[in-house]
Amino acid sequence: MSLINKAETDLANARLDRKGLMTRVSEMTLLWKVMSLVIFASAWEIAGRSGFNFSFPAFTETVAAFFEMVVDGSMGSAYLKTMEALVVGLIISLVVGISSGVAMGLRRDVEWITLPVFIVMQAAPMAALIPLVTFVYGIGLTSKVIAVVMLAMPVIAINSYKAVRNVSPSMVSMCHSFMGSRRQQIIQIILPASSSMMFAGLRLGIAEGFSGAVLAELLITPTGIGDLITYHRSVANFAHMYATIASIVIFAIVTVGSLQWVENILFRPETRSS
C-alpha cells in the first residue's frame, strides 16, 4: 500500500538533498493541474458535441460566448452591478463579524449571549430567509446586501472568535508579567496572534459572500450577473448562460484563491492555520 511506501520515502527524504528526475516530475503539481484542466475541457467539449442534451454547449462554444459578452460590454456592466451588493455586504460582514468575534473571544458574557446565535446562523440554511427579507425590504439593493451579510457574517464572526480563543494563554501571561495593561495585551499580543486564523475565516466568509450575492440575484430579482443568466436562458442562448455561470464561479474561486496566496505570504508558515 502506498502509505507504506510513504513511510519509506519519508525516511529517505529526511536525509537527502537531491531528488531523482522522476520524483521531481511527479511532484510538479502545476503539471498535474494543467493536465487536469485539459482533461476537463476535453471532456466538456466531447459531451457538448455529442448532443446528449440540446441545451448543453461545447467547451469552445462557451468560451466564444464569454468573449463575445466581454467585448460587447454586457459582462463588465453585469459584474459591476452584482459587485455592488457583494462589496457592501462583505464590508458590513467584515466589520460587524470581526468585531463581534473578537468581543466574544475576549468577554465570556458577550460569548454567552452572542455565540449561540452565530452557531445557529452558520449551521442553518439561511438561504430560506432570503425570500422573507425580500418580502419586507423589497427587491432592491438592501435585500441583496442583507442576503450577503446573512451568509457571510456568521462564518467570519465564529472564526474570529475561535482565533482569539486560540491565542496561547502563556503569551498573554508573558505580556502581563512584563506589566502590560489589558489594552496592550489585546493590541500587542491577542490581535496579532489571532490574525492568521482570522484571515482564514475572512477567506471563507468571502466565499460565502459570493454565494449570497448569486443567490440574491437568482432569488430576489436578477440584475447584473443574474440578469445575464436568466435572459440568456429565456432566449435559449445556452452557451452564453453557461459562460456567465462559469465566469462567476471562476471569479469567486480566483478571488478566494488569491486570498489564500496572500495569506501564505503575509503569515509565516509556522503561524499559518491549515
Interaction residues for another protein, span 100-119 (CB under 8 A): 108-109, 111-117
Residue span 10-49 as binding mask against another protein, x where in contact by CB under 8 A, dash where not: xxx--xx-xxx--x--x--x--xx-xxx-xx---------
Residues between 53 and 72 with contacts to another protein, criterion CB under 8 A: 53, 55-56
| Stretch of 62-70, 162-170, 176-184, 249-257 contacting another protein, by CB under 8 A | 249-257
What residues contact residue 184 under an 8 Å CB cut-off, 6+ apart? 175
Intra-chain end-to-end CA distance of the chain, in Å: 27
Residue closer to another protein (CB basis): 26 or 99: 26
**Shortest reach from residue 169's CB to another protein, in Å:** 20
**Shortest reach from residue 270's CB to another protein, in Å:** 20
Site membership for another protein, residue 235 (CB under 8 A) = no
Residue closer to another protein (CB basis): 140 or 192: 140
**Shortest reach from residue 191's CB to another protein, in Å:** 24
**Shortest reach from residue 21's CB to another protein, in Å:** 9
Residues between 122 and 141 with contacts to another protein, criterion CB under 8 A: 123-137
**Shortest reach from residue 88's CB to another protein, in Å:** 17
What are the cell numbers at 256? 478566494
**Shortest reach from residue 56's CB to another protein, in Å:** 7
User: In sequence order, what DSSP letters do the residues of the chain get, joined into one string?
Assistant: -HHHHHHHHHHHHTT-S---HHHHHHH-HHHHHHHHHHHHHHHHHHHHHHTSSTT---HHHHHHHHHHHHHTTHHHHHHHHHHHHHHHHHHHHHHHHHHHHHHHHH-HHHHHHHHHHHHHHHHS-GGGHHHHHHHHHTTSHHHHHHHHHHHHHHHHHHHHHHHHHTS-HHHHHHHHHTT--HHHIIIIIIHHHHHHHHHHHHHHHHHHHHHHHHHHHHHT---HHHHHHHHHHHTT-HHHHHHHHHHHHHHHHHHHHHHHHHHHHHS-GGG---
Question: Number of residues in contact with another protein, rule: CB under 8 A?
Answer: 76
Residue closer to another protein (CB basis): 191 or 246: 246
**Shortest reach from residue 184's CB to another protein, in Å:** 27
Residues between 136 and 175 with contacts to another protein, criterion CB under 8 A: 136-137
| Stretch of 64-72, 158-166, 179-187, 199-207 contacting another protein, by CB under 8 A | 199-207
Integer Rg of the chain from CA: 24
